[in-house]
Amino acid sequence: MMNEKNPPLVSILIPTYNRPHYFKIALESALAQTYSNIEIIIGDDSTNDETATLIREQYLPNYKNITYIRNTPTLGQFHNDLMLIEKSNGEYINFLMDDDVFYKHKIQKMMTYFEQDPNKNLALVTSYRVRIDDHGNLIGDSHPTQRLYSEDTPLNGIFLGNWMLKGGHNIIGEPTTTLFRKELLTEPFGTLKERQYSCSVDMASWISLLSKGNAIYISEPLSQFRYHAG
């Protein structure tokens, strides 16, 4: 069982690139989490100083659980993600893309399922997510984002991985959606069976994780995925 006085550390990893407005919304949603033991690591790949100024003036003086890394030279999305995982200290990892949003109880809700898994058979917890537009308005589901189950549901890892492979859709969700156990990520993020994928990076890692453990699907929305039209 999880020690409520000293719960496991969760690392929220935020890769960002030239989107200070959206980034601030994302960061605020990470800071609003009800789960008590969180570190936030930001990998800034921006080509200007707007995000750096925002973080250094408004956040670093006030939040000791934020680590800010300015990439010089820039790394690109893939290597920025790898760097953030390498720098993380948590037993559990959840990416937060810089234009997405967490609901405030996301991490706490997901960690309750890891708490109920003393034998460490659980590799990841995901949930229904809702889509929003550039202005934060809710928009309808696409096929991959449709709710899978009407109630929280445990899923065998191999079954879920095969479901994704046969359907060709990332039904688990984007990196923002999923909290996973770090020790089971034995290959670099985006790698499956020693093959590095440049597309469907998250899907490759979910299948890799599911080969080592099971999953929980939470039926309520716990994050917002921003969809940019065009």
Instruction: Note whether residue 51 is domain-resident.
Output: yes
Instruction: Note whether residue 185 is domain-resident.
Output: yes
Give this prediction's pTM. 0.94
Cβ 207 vs Cβ 124: under 8 Å: no
The answer for residues whose C-beta is within 8 angstroms of residue 132's C-beta and 6 or more apart is: 101, 138, 139, 224, 225, 226, 227
Instruction: Note whether residue 196 is domain-resident.
Output: yes
Instruction: Note whether residue 32 is domain-resident.
Output: yes
Q: What's residue 196's pLDDT?
A: 65
Q: How many domains does the chain have?
A: 1
For residue 9, the 8-state DSSP code is P
**CATH, residue 148:** 3.90.550.10
Boundaries of domain holding 47 = 10-226
Cβ 227 vs Cβ 167: under 8 Å: no
- Following CA atoms 150, 151, 152, 155 in sequence, which dihedral angle do they give, to the nearest 10 degrees? -60
| Burial class of residue 159 in the structure, from the number of CB atoms within 10 Å of its CB (0-12 exposed, 13-18 middle, 19+ buried) | exposed
Instruction: Note whether residue 1 is domain-resident.
Output: no
Helical segments of 72-156, H only:
77-87, 106-115
Instruction: Note whether residue 5 is domain-resident.
Output: no
Q: What's residue 173's pLDDT?
A: 94
The answer for residues whose C-beta is within 8 angstroms of residue 225's C-beta and 6 or more apart is: 100, 129, 130, 131, 132, 145, 173, 174, 176, 177
- Per DSSP bridges, beta strands 153-155 and 214-226 are antiparallel
| Burial class of residue 39 in the structure, from the number of CB atoms within 10 Å of its CB (0-12 exposed, 13-18 middle, 19+ buried) | middle
Q: What's residue 6's pLDDT?
A: 86
Instruction: Note whether residue 50 is domain-resident.
Output: yes
Going residue by residue through the chain (230 aa), what tens digit of pLDDT does each one get?
555 678 999 999 999 999 999 999 999 999 999 999 999 999 999 999 999 999 999 999 999 999 999 999 999 998 999 999 999 999 999 999 999 999 999 999 999 999 999 999 999 999 999 999 999 999 988 888 899 999 999 999 999 999 998 988 899 999 999 999 999 998 877 666 666 665 578 898 999 999 999 999 999 999 999 988 75
Give 28-78 as a DSSP string: HHHHT-S-S-EEEEEEE--SSSHHHHHHHHHTTTT-TTEEEEE-SS---HH
Instruction: Note whether residue 208 is domain-resident.
Output: yes
